[in-house]
Amino acid sequence: KWYPARQALKLDPKGKALKDYEILQSLPVGTTATLYFRDLGPQLSWTMVFMAEYIGPLLIYLLFYFRVPYVYTHKYALTASPYRVSMCTCNSLLACACHSFHYIKRLIETIFVHRFSHGTLPLRTIARNCVYYWGFAAWLAYYINHPLYTPPSYGDMQVNYALIVFTLCEAGNFSIHLTLNNCRGDGSKCRQFPYPTKNPFTWLFCLVSCPNYTYEIGAWVSFSIMTQCVPVALFTFVAFVQMTIWARSKHMSYTREFKDYPKLRMPILPFVL
């Protein structure tokens, strides 16, 4: 009645579910054992999860950028911005390009790069994640593409420097994902911790356990500076809190599993956090 991904088997009703690779002979039981079954509900693969999470923000942002009818009221559409039209148009175009590039890169990584250690995620969790990504994308896109949008305080200099940092962080994030992919090899659980390679972007592994999150936060911080938009900054802060939780969990997992794990490494921010 239930496909395997929906099934959870436990030795104790309140305990953790048994791993897929565990066998009866390895369990702490005698000649007889009682297994407790739980239906986990509808499940989707991680690939489908990420596709749903990332396609939404990409398309939603483009709807605001191209000013589809009824996105902005007629009153705002006819109101002239007090700033140079060319500057506002250039900033919104650059922001759209960076935002689209970020999520297109994520989709490409999902299809061709990422290897997932866990096969599925509950459907209810996917709905919650989509509300988070899609909602924030609509919120920040509304303000960045608004007819009354004001350009950054320091003009082209602020935008250009932020663009350079954004590009470097995106390249670094992609490099880390490739390194993690190579570490996993054929897709089985990685039995060695990741380490720097000849690629300079991976040298951040010397200082942090999850440099992919470090680069991700760097990209969103630079995007916040580039657009000088409060919703983007709030999204960056929320993302930083969540990624810090993930990074600390991964860091603790590394330190428990590997006795020779580098002491200098921090979870997400070098020497700090």
One-character DSSP codes across 142-209: HHHT-TT----TTHHHHHHHHHHHHHHHHHHHHHHHHHHHHHHTTTSPP-S-----SSGGGGGGGTBS
Distance (Å, whole) CA 20 – CA 58:
35
Question: What residue ranges in 59-132 does DSSP mark as E strands?
Answer: 120-122
At residue 84, the pLDDT reads 46
At residue 33, the pLDDT reads 83
Average pLDDT over residues 101-126: 86
The fraction of the chain above a pLDDT of 70, given in percent, is: 89
Most confident of the following: 1-10, 45-54, 244-253: 244-253
Question: What residue ranges in the chain does DSSP mark as E strands?
Answer: 7-10, 36-39, 43-45, 120-122
The fraction of the chain above a pLDDT of 90, given in percent, is: 54
Domain assignments of the chain as residue spans, ordered by start? 43-257
Q: Are 226 and 159 spatial neighbours (Cβ–Cβ below 8 Å)?
A: yes
Distance (Å, whole) CA 104 – CA 183:
24
Please, what sign has the CA dihedral across residues 3, 124, 107, 205? negative
| Closest by CA position to 60, among listed 51, 68, 72, 48 | 68
Distance (Å, whole) CA 265 – CA 253:
13
pLDDT digits (tens, 9 = 90+) for 61-113: 999 998 766 777 666 555 545 554 445 667 889 999 999 999 999 999 999 98
Which has more confidence, 248 or 30? 248
Which has more confidence, 184 or 56? 56
Distance (Å, whole) CA 33 – CA 27:
9
Distance (Å, whole) CA 156 – CA 254:
43
Average pLDDT over residues 16-28: 83
Distance (Å, whole) CA 14 – CA 206:
39
| Closest by CA position to 134, among listed 65, 235, 204, 47 | 235
3-state class (DSSP) for residue 31: coil
Which amino acid makes up residue 266?
A: M
Q: Is the pLDDT at 119 greater than 80, yes or no?
A: no
At residue 4, the pLDDT reads 83
Distance (Å, whole) CA 256 – CA 151:
48
Distance (Å, whole) CA 222 – CA 171:
14
pLDDT digits (tens, 9 = 90+) for 127-184: 899 999 999 999 999 999 988 888 888 888 999 999 999 999 999 999 999 998 887 6
Among all chains, which residue has been given the structure tokens 């436990």?
10
